[in-house]
């Protein structure tokens, strides 16, 4: 059936209506007339399969990736980069308004690369096939190149020999690791970070550098800074220049051990790391905290953590998030005590609907 696409949902899918029911259509753009089949019907919405673009949007471009329509890892390669950035700004603005009652215009820092930016990918192996798992299935899509992965990683894909069902490849731009006991050194501005294969680290090093610069501008000199979900210590070490002491809390043991090594690697003496769940360990912080940095997983912060933050009453909070909905939810939970002072978006994940947000909150009294 022929339909007109009127907008995009938060995952970059086209929106239309059929028989007064919302229909989501992957790979369709606003203003396009398209031919679709309804392939799934739920109570409140339906899923449409894009068969043909009859009248294309001026923002539509030809995708470069041969796996684009079967992989599912990328969502916005079929539109211009400028349009992708506009979508991300509009998306976060709408979510903040809907879930936190915040009305604000947003700026976004673009990536220096739309392709070849990822310093890490995770492949799967099945029946001697190595590739990505097809979205919402257990099927392997064999690949010999991923356009958003660093070229060194792509060179390794073609020759990799591993018996693991899951293969993580990570690079610092000079070497590639994929063995479970291997590690490498990542350089971010003036800092060095040792990263194990299983440790968390931001996938777009350029954007991480830009986030460092932004955070340094918005963080005041402090006596004590608390860094929640501190990972390998990236934000803790950056903040060490602005504090007499920084305390980081991280549950992942690999990341925690890396963080301890990174203190020594960067010859920093005013940072301490605690291993454990944030919601458990934050209760033990008894000293006056001037500023909290928080970079939680996509699920956001739990209620226990938010309640303790309110008890600690830091003057300022810097919140970094890769999931706008839980980000807005947490801001809404904090808005009785804290006011949003500034926010900036960072395009950590080009060609996808994901976007990184960093904001500064200030205590009202």
Contact 13, 24 (CB under 8 A): yes
3-state SS class at 358: strand
Active-site entry in 65, 74, 146, 322 = 322
Cα 152 vs. chain centroid, distance in angstroms? 22
Cβ–Cβ contacts within 10 Å for residue 286, how many? 7
Judging by DSSP bridges, how do beta strands 222-228 and 291-294 pair with one another? Answer: parallel
Burial (CB < 10 A; 0-12, 13-18, 19+), residue 351, is buried
Reduced 3-state DSSP string for 54-110: EECCCCECCCCCCCHHHHCCCCCCCECHHHHHHHHHHHHHHHHHHHHCCCCCCCEEC
Cβ–Cβ contacts within 10 Å for residue 144, how many? 11
Task: Determine the Cα–Cα distance for residues 197 and 181; give it in Å rounded to an integer.
Answer: 7
- 71 as an active site residue: the answer is no
Active site residues: 322
């Amino acid at each position: 059936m022929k339909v007109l696409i009127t907008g995009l949902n938060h995952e970059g899918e086209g929106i239309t209506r059929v028989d007064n029911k919302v229909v989501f259509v992957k790979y369709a753009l606003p203003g396009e007339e398209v031919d679709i089949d309804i392939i799934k019907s739920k109570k409140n919405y339906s899923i449409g399969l894009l068969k043909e673009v009859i009248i294309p949007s001026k923002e539509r471009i030809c995708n470069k990736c041969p796996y684009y329509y079967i992989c599912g890892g990328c969502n916005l390669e079929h539109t211009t980069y400028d349009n992708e950035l506009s979508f991300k700004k509009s998306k976060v603005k709408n979510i903040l308004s809907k879930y936190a009652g915040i009305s604000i215009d947003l700026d976004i820092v673009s990536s220096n690369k739309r392709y070849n930016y990822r310093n890490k990918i995770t492949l799967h192996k099945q029946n001697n096939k190595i590739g990505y798992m097809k979205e919402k299935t257990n099927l392997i899509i064999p690949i010999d190149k991923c356009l958003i992965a660093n070229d060194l990683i792509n060179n390794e894909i073609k020759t990799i020999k591993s018996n693991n069902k899951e293969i993580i490849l990570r690079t610092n731009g000079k070497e590639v690791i994929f063995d479970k006991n291997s590690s490498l050194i990542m350089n971010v501005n003036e800092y060095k970070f040792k990263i194990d294969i299983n440790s968390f680290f931001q996938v777009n090093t350029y954007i991480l550098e830009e986030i460092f610069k932004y955070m340094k501008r918005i963080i005041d000199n402090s006596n004590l800074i608390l860094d929640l979900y501190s990972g390998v210590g990236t934000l803790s070490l950056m903040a060490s220049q602005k504090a007499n002491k920084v305390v980081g809390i991280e549950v992942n043991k690999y990341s925690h051990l890396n963080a301890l090594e990174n203190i020594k690697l960067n010859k920093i003496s005013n940072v301490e790391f605690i291993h454990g769940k944030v919601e458990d360990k934050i209760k033990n912080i008894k000293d006056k905290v001037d500023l909290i940095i928080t970079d939680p997983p996509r699920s956001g912060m739990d209620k226990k953590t938010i309640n303790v933050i309110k008890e600690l009453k830091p003057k300022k909070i810097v919140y970094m998030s890769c999931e706008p909905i839980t980000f807005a939810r947490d801001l809404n939970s904090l808005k009785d005590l804290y006011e949003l002072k500034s926010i900036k978006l960072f395009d950590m994940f080009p060609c996808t609907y994901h976007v990184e947000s960093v904001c500064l909150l200030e205590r009202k009294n």
